Amino acid sequence: MRVLLVGAGGVGTAITRIAARRSFFDHIIVADYDLSRAEAAVAALDDAGARFSTARIDASDQAAVTALLTRERCDVLLNATDPRFVMPLFEAALAAGAHYLDMAMSLSYPHPERPYEECGVKLGDAQFARAAEWEEAGRLALVGVGVEPGLSDVFARYAAEELFDEIEEIGVRDGANLTVDGHDFAPSFSIWTTIEECLNPPVIWEKERGWFTTAPFSEPEVFDFPEGIGPVECVNVEHEEVLLIPRWVDAERVTFKYGLGDEFIETLKTLHKLGLDRTEKVTVGGARVSPRDVVAACLPDPATLGDRMHGKTCAGTWVKGAKDGKPREVYLYHVVDNQWSMREYGSQAVVWQTAINPVIALELVAAGSWTGSGVLGAEAFDPRPFLDLLNEYGSPWGLRDQ
């Protein structure tokens, strides 16, 4: 398998460090708009770098990405960029006859009149609209296969197959107790993506109603996270699982809630009030800039925070339903300790936890354990090989009866 990895930021770099320890691929080309980032990622791999090379690419240039895929004879494109670049990369892979994987799906757009009640353009709609073309080409677009979405969706499918006969609700719940020395406000993941997720109307799925929206940060609840993280208040946030899980898993209701904290929420609300969450460019001193890009440039790069970060992050899927006629409630989860991920891989916990999952998915595709064509999410596949590999990679998952 020859892989084009587009994006050498925190997640992309962590992907190279995880993949370098595995033997399922022949070569990975690490490509980024900033060639020095790609070169730094490969240079850090020591002897394993023999299976890696670098290239400069503009992820928004579909024709250039198609040409690179063709020239390098790549079997698959792994997208480790932010959601702005999903569609050109997705289309480039199809044009080049390659498979495609990403960790975030095509962007949503709120309903113009009723944004907090009805869906407008949903996450992933642009990709699912092209499913027939992918099926006809016999190529797989495996979408949303990071940690959330991704591992959380695998958990949902596993619960449906092995733990429940009927499911009342599937609720993805994400929380952490991470702190960063020397920073009052330092997001552990891309601020561009965080703003997009948190300020858009969250989506909820109900079998009798379909997809609908609510106000940002709605329905707060306190969720008790495992392995010493403890109780964290979680709120509704727009996320791909709600758009993916109901397509393949039978449940009465699907939600996503994220543990943000009051200070983080107030900061995001302030950015919104000031218009600093906007992506439309404005003129500043003769230059055209996006306010959201300026915010991102002013904050520390999440990938550089690992040495000053402490604590654990938890991603998981809470499921409520019945088994053998009796009520059951479980939480399937994956916890990463930042001290461990920094010591073992030199990557901070949040980006490492995101990165391990597409590497596992690539290995399953390479081995023929996951096969298919069209636009599919992780919950469309057998969950057991994925969870077995997660253990084999040295980062086990857990299950707690609630």
Q: What is the DSSP string of 58-115?
A: -TT-HHHHHHHHHHTT-SEEEE-S-GGGHHHHHHHHHHHT-EEEESS-PPPB--SS-T
Position 172 pLDDT exceeds 90: yes
Does 165 or 185 have the greater pLDDT score? 165
The amino acid at 337: D
Question: pLDDT tens, 277-330?
Answer: 888 899 988 889 899 888 888 888 877 887 888 999 999 999 999 999 999 999
Asked if residues 310 and 338 have their Cβ atoms less than 8 Å apart, the reply is: yes
Position 28 pLDDT exceeds 80: yes
Asked if residues 2 and 362 have their Cβ atoms less than 8 Å apart, the reply is: no
Position 183 pLDDT exceeds 80: no
The structure tokens listed for 340 are 């461990």
Return the closest-CA partner of residue 140 out of 78, 49, 199: 78
pLDDT band at 263 (very low <50, low <70, confident <90, very high): confident
Residues near 36 by Cβ (< 8 Å), separated by ≥ 6?
none
pLDDT at 41: 96
The structure tokens listed for 144 are 């949303």
- Cis peptide preceding 202, ω within 30 of 0: no
pTM of structure: 0.93
Helix or strand or coil: residue 331? strand
Asked if residues 272 and 140 have their Cβ atoms less than 8 Å apart, the reply is: no
Tell the residue number behind the tokens 């990403």, with chain if given.
Answer: 102
Asked if residues 311 and 342 have their Cβ atoms less than 8 Å apart, the reply is: no
pLDDT at 182: 81
